[in-house]
């Protein structure tokens, strides 16, 4: 028969994995909704510019995950050894690195955005729409990175359910705001970008 300790570890593993999968499904749904609303509300040009912008967003998101998951993993290892003081230092340093990185990306991204969009192959109206979308996203980079850091740390601090709830609510809010900003408000790509940019702010509010 399996020991009680083994069964407990298995239950925790299943809990963490299932909640992570649920979070990923929520993210996939909002990306699908974002694509749908832009395709129908802005048109083919908007969808094309989104495909250009998504590469920049993915790069930014990967940096956020790298900082957040890397720091949270070290945090969890320190806590498992009972070194709470160093774990707290790891958390503080990770947040500071995330904020500094986010500010650097926001400044440099907005400064060189036309050149970046052009280097990715955007021209004419596609370049204009890409710039309109990414200028908002770049401006909210510190929130995007900080949100991924907080999600990773809170999940590794024994609260995976809270992290998942925050992500699911923020993703659902993104879908609702996408519709409101694109259709009733008529903000096209700016509205789609603003809905995406406000999503981590909503998540951080819940996590706080």
pLDDT digits (tens, 9 = 90+) for 116-163: 999 988 889 999 999 999 999 999 999 999 999 999 999 988 888 899
DSSP 8-state secondary structure symbol assigned to residue 159: -
Residue 2, pLDDT above cutoff 60: no
Q: pLDDT value at position 196?
A: 92
Confidence of residue 208 (pLDDT cuts 50, 70, 90): confident
80 and 156 Cβ atoms separated by less than 8 Å: no
Confidence of residue 1 (pLDDT cuts 50, 70, 90): very low
163 and 104 Cβ atoms separated by less than 8 Å: no
pTM given for the model: 0.88
Whose CA is closest to 122, among 140, 134, 139, 111? 134
């Amino acid at each position: 028969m399996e020991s009680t300790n083994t069964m407990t570890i298995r239950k925790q593993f299943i809990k963490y994995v299932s909640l992570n999968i649920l979070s990923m499904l929520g993210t996939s749904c909002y990306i699908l909704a974002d694509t749908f609303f832009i395709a129908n509300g802005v048109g083919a040009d908007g969808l094309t510019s989104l495909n250009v912008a998504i590469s920049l967003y993915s790069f930014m998101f990967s940096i956020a995950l790298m900082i957040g998951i890397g720091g949270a993993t070290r945090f969890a290892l320190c806590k498992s050894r009972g070194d709470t003081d160093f774990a707290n230092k790891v958390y503080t340093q990770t947040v500071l690195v995330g904020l500094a990185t986010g500010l650097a990306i926001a400044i440099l991204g907005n400064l060189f955005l036309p050149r970046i969009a052009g280097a990715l192959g955007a021209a004419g109206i596609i370049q204009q729409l890409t710039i309109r979308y990414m200028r908002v996203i770049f401006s909210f980079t510190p929130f995007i990175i900080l949100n991924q850091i907080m999600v990773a740390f809170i999940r590794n601090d024994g609260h995976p359910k809270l992290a998942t709830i925050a992500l699911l609510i923020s993703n659902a809010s993104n879908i609702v705001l996408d519709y409101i900003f694109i259709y009733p408000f008529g903000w096209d790509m700016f509205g789609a970008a603003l809905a995406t940019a406000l999503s981590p702010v909503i998540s951080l509010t819940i996590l706080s």
